[in-house]
Amino acid sequence: MQVNETKRPFRHVWLTALALSLAGLNAAAAPVCTRVVLTGEVNAGRTWQASLGEGWVFRILPIPPGQARYSGWDLTLDRDPPAGYPDALLLATPPYNSINEREIGTTFGLRAQDAIGWNPRSFHFMTDPAAFNEAQPLFRGLLDDRQLTPSSGNGSREMTRLLSLEQKTASGELHIDDARLTPGIGDPAPFAQAWALAAARTQHEIVPGSGGNPSASGSLAWMRFTVTLWLPRYWKVPATIRGTQAPCQE
């Protein structure tokens, strides 16, 4: 069949216009969230918190030092009053019992300088109270049965249900704006090499360690930070914080 060559340019123009129109529709249909930005600072051993509304509180909690003398903080999201362990951020930010973005500290072989080099930190959190209440005992049961380790390969009904409850989560990011720390004198772990190099890009101040004795992991003394949260679109934020409509983050 003979094709009229004069019609080809018009066909291309029409297809291009259609593609641009579809792209515009896809962009317009992108999910919208309530974006909240929080700023603050926290000292070693201290807690920082902010009420998000809807009965939820974002907290930065000190990591218990224990015998290994850990330092740093855990990022958490819990009910008000607290609903206990595990919190809604831990549940939605695997892996469990392993190095994790929600933990800014000298744990799992990280030194203080490695911890600030891993910057920013991304995480997810549950926002549905009913799903959160159901997920907590499921998690604790799996933890008691030692089925939450990275190598467990758990495909149980309980784990499947837990993962399904975590499908609809919100996202967040913490950026370390400044820090005070005592560097560790140990070598960086193989998996932390990139963070060790990146530490120089995070503003920080070196301070003497307690007792003047250096340690392999060092310690974190203080952190100034910015937290960005992408909450559900119709979230009712308290008057103390400002929420703006913005595209949701994965």
Residues 6+ apart with CB under 8 A from 120: 173, 174, 175, 176
Whole-number pLDDT of residue 84: 94
Q: Would you list the domain boundaries of the chain?
A: 32-247
Within 10 Å of residue 190's Cβ, how many Cβ atoms? Answer: 7
Total-model pTM? 0.85
Encoding tokens for residue 79? 């009910």
Whole-number pLDDT of residue 245: 97
Whole-number pLDDT of residue 212: 75
Encoding tokens for residue 111? 């030194």
Whole-number pLDDT of residue 22: 44
Encoding tokens for residue 142? 């799996």
Q: How confident is the prediction along the chain (250 residues), in pLDDT tens digits per residue?
A: 454 544 444 444 444 444 444 444 445 568 999 999 999 999 999 999 999 999 999 999 999 999 889 999 999 999 999 999 999 999 999 999 899 999 999 999 999 999 999 999 999 999 999 999 999 999 999 988 777 764 555 568 888 999 899 888 999 999 999 999 999 999 999 999 999 999 999 999 999 987 778 899 999 999 999 999 999 999 999 999 999 999 999 8
Whole-number pLDDT of residue 3: 47
Whole-number pLDDT of residue 149: 62
Whole-number pLDDT of residue 144: 85
Whole-number pLDDT of residue 7: 47
Partners of residue 126 on adjacent β-strands:
169
Whole-number pLDDT of residue 17: 46
- What is the phi/psi pair of residue 148, to 5°? -115, 10
